[in-house]
């Protein structure tokens, strides 16, 4: 019997995504790599095309109709993003993606907030984008980077954090959802511990904002970074949310057009927030695509998407664990991200065989080398889900993993 989602009409949703009309070889596309990037609904694609057909011009520059329209669309997108995460629009900075968001705020914090001798806590669960900037800048500026290590099950233990945090801790940088293990971290509790100790908290929301409702005020998050392309929008657009009172205190880290109010030969004054953090012509169509993506996500309902993915995740864990020789990683309760190894078969060999059946999964270290080291492995194969995935997709995966075993027997 075909299992149907209790929360979403997936067949209807799939019709909105043109990519599912194509074939991979002779096979239907089974896309299980949304943690890497998501596909785009037609409404998002149309929003970009409409922008170029009807409103194309630069923002905040020209005093003519097209520029006013482009500026309005761009700033409306900012407001929509702000509402989506419960922020104010002057706390939303458009960037090129999560990586740039973290790098940008890291440089600003190091140049105008953090001091030599301060401590930063991050975890060994992080994607390199929320690890390498802190490692590099801490070394360069003489700060101490402390690693909060995960438990065997792949969870972060709050008791351990209480032991690591000191009065020198100025920042805790942690992912909301692990891109490898699917671990969902208790952000609200981490934020409480951080603030009790006068530390800021930065959240890598790349794997959470597209999949679950987040309210930065309720969770009391100081800094949040996420990407457009993982939430149905295009590549090259990302978001950096920073609390207003912090934004007012820190310097920009990128300089040029658009971010100034006045420039003389001797000195420059910055534009008000958030614009002082947006140097150069921004990714206008990217911002517009995020707006269309949020409309689509709101229409479907983020809670429905989250519940649907939790169901898929449980179903996948239960089904895959039955395959002899298959090892699952991560905690029992996880988001729609499943990592595994199948005997000694290399993840890239698994991916290649699955691709011959139209199944797209990710294999490798997933930009998490410290995590791989802590798990004593070189990599995993990862299947990740989104609103367009079905129970059938997981059954296909399970069926063809048996074929992989057959090839490498």
Tokens of 213: 């409702």
To the nearest whole angstrom, how small is the minimum distance from the Cβ of residue 397 to other proteins?
18
Helix (H) or strand (E) holding 339: strand 337-342
Compare residues 331 and 364 and give the one whose CB is closer to other proteins.
Answer: 364
Say whether 367 is catalytic.
yes
**Angstrom distances, CA of residue 273 to CA of 6, 46, 303:** 43, 30, 31
Catalytic residue among 367, 368, 394, 404: 367
Least spacing, CB of residue 19 vs other proteins, in Å: 19
Dihedrals phi, psi of 332, to nearest 5 degrees: -65, -40
The residue (of 166 and 352) whose beta carbon lies closer to other proteins is: 352
Contact with other proteins (CB under 8 A): which of 356, 360, 374, 395? 356
Paired strand residues for 119: 144, 169
Q: Is 353 in the site for other proteins (CB under 8 A)?
A: yes
Size of the site for other proteins (CB under 8 A): 12
Q: Please, what sign has the CA dihedral across residues 16, 37, 207, 292?
A: negative
Contact between 346 and other proteins by CB under 8 A: the answer reads: yes
Q: Which residue from 19, 42, 66, 407 is in contact with other proteins, where contact means CB under 8 A?
A: 407
Q: How many CA atoms lie within 13 A of 269 on its CB side?
A: 4
C-beta closer to other proteins: residue 99 or 390: 99
Decide: is 408 part of the binding site for other proteins (CB under 8 A): yes
Single out the residue of 129, 369, 120 nearest to residue 238, CA to CA: 129
- What's the token pair of residue 319? 């089904």
Contact segment (CB under 8 A) with other proteins among 158-166, 287-295, 331-339, 342-350 equals 342-350
- Cα(118)–Cα(327) distance, integer angstroms: 40
Is position 236 an interface residue for other proteins (rule: CB under 8 A)? no
Give whichever of 299 and 403 is closer to other proteins, judged by the CB atom.
403
- Write down the least CB distance from residue 346 to other proteins, Å: 4
Among residues 54, 29, 138, the alpha carbon closest in space to that of 392 is found at 29
Closest approach of Cβ 307 to other proteins, in Å? 35
Residue ranges in 21-80 that form contacts with other proteins under rule CB under 8 A: none
Cβ count within 10 A of residue 378:
13
Backbone torsions φ then ψ of 382, nearest 5 degrees: -125, 130
Q: Which CB, 112 or 378, lies closer to other proteins? A: 378
Q: Which of 364, 374, 392, 395 binds other proteins (CB under 8 A)?
A: 364
Q: Which is nearer to other proteins, 32 or 104 (CB)?
A: 32
Q: Which one of the spans 26-34, 139-147, 293-301, 347-355 is the region binding other proteins (CB under 8 A)? A: 347-355
Rg (CA), the chain: 22
Stretch that binds other proteins, among 97-105, 147-155, 266-274, 348-356 (CB under 8 A): 348-356
Q: What is the DSSP letter of 272?
A: S
Structure tokens at 196: 């009790």
* Shortest separation between residue 122's beta carbon and other proteins, angstroms: 21
| Residues numbered 269-298 forming contacts with other proteins, rule: CB under 8 A | none
Of 374-393, binders to other proteins (CB under 8 A) are: 378-379
DSSP 3-state of 208: coil
Tell me the C-alpha distance between 148 and 160, whole Å.
7
Contact positions with other proteins (CB under 8 A) in 164-193: none
- Binder to other proteins among 14, 160, 195, 365 (CB under 8 A)? 365
By C-beta, is 54 or 407 nearer to other proteins?
407
Contact status, residue 94 vs residue 237, Cβ threshold 8 Å? yes
> Of the two residues 50 and 327, which places its CB atom closer to other proteins in the complex?
327
Asked if 402 touches other proteins (CB under 8 A), the answer is no
Quick one: tokens of 375? Answer: 């798990």
Residue 348 within binding range of other proteins, rule CB under 8 A: yes
Q: Does 235 bind other proteins (CB under 8 A)?
A: no
352 binds other proteins per the rule CB under 8 A: yes
Burial of residue 242, with CB atoms counted within 10 A of its CB: 0-12 exposed, 13-18 middle, 19 or more buried: buried
As given in the structure block, the two tokens for residue 163 are 């032991």
Strand-pairing partners, residue 33, are 384
Which H or E element spans position 121? strand 119-123
Residue 202 near residue 12 (C-beta atoms within 8 A): no
Q: Which residues pair with 364 in a beta bridge?
A: 380
Residue 373, interface with other proteins (CB under 8 A)?
no
Active site residues: 367
Q: What is the binding site for other proteins (CB under 8 A)?
A: 346, 348-349, 352-353, 356, 364-365, 378-379, 407-408
């Amino acid at each position: 019997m075909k299992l149907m989602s209790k929360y979403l009409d997936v067949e209807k949703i799939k019709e909105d995504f043109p990519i599912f009309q194509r074939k991979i070889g002779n096979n239907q596309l089974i896309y299980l790599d949304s943690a890497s990037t998501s596909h785009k609904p037609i409404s998002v694609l149309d929003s970009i095309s409409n922008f170029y057909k009807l409103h194309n011009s630069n923002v905040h520059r020209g005093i003519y109709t097209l520029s006013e329209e482009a500026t309005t669309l761009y700033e409306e997108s900012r407001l929509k993003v702000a509402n989506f995460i419960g922020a104010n629009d002057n706390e939303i900075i458009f960037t090129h993606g999560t990586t740039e968001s973290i790098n940008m705020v890291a440089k600003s914090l190091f140049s105008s907030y953090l001091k030599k001798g301060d401590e930063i806590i991050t975890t060994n669960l992080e994607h390199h984008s929320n690890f390498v900037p802190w490692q590099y800048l801490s070394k360069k500026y003489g700060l101490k980077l402390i690693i909060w290590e995960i438990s065997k099950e792949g969870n972060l233990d709050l008791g351990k954090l209480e032991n690591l945090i000191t009065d020198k801790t100025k920042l805790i940088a942690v992912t909301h959802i692990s891109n490898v293990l699917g671990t969902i971290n208790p952000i609200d509790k981490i934020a409480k511990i951080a603030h009790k100790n006068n530390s800021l908290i930065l959240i890598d929301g790349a794997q959470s904002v597209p999949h679950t409702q987040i309210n930065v005020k309720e969770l009391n998050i100081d800094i949040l970074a996420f990407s457009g392309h993982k939430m149905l929008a295009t590549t090259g657009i990302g978001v950096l949310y920073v609390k207003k009172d912090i934004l007012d205190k820190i310097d920009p880290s990128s300089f040029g057009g658009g971010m100034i109010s006045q420039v003389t030969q001797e000195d420059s004054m910055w534009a008000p927030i958030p614009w002082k953090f947006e140097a150069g012509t921004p990714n206008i169509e990217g911002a517009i695509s995020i707006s269309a993506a949020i409309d689509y996500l709101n229409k479907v309902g983020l809670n429905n998407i989250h519940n649907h993915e939790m169901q898929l995740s449980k179903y996948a864990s239960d089904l895959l664990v039955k395959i002899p020789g298959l090892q699952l990683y991560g905690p029992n309760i996880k988001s729609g991200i499943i990592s595994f190894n199948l005997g000694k078969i290399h993840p890239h060999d698994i991916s290649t065989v699955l691709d011959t059946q139209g199944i797209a999964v990710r294999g490798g270290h997933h930009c998490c080398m410290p995590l791989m080291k802590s798990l004593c492995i070189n990599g995993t194969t990862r299947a990740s889900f989104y609103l367009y995935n079905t129970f059938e997709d997981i059954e296909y995966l399970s069926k063809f993993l048996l074929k992989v075993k057959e090839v490498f027997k």
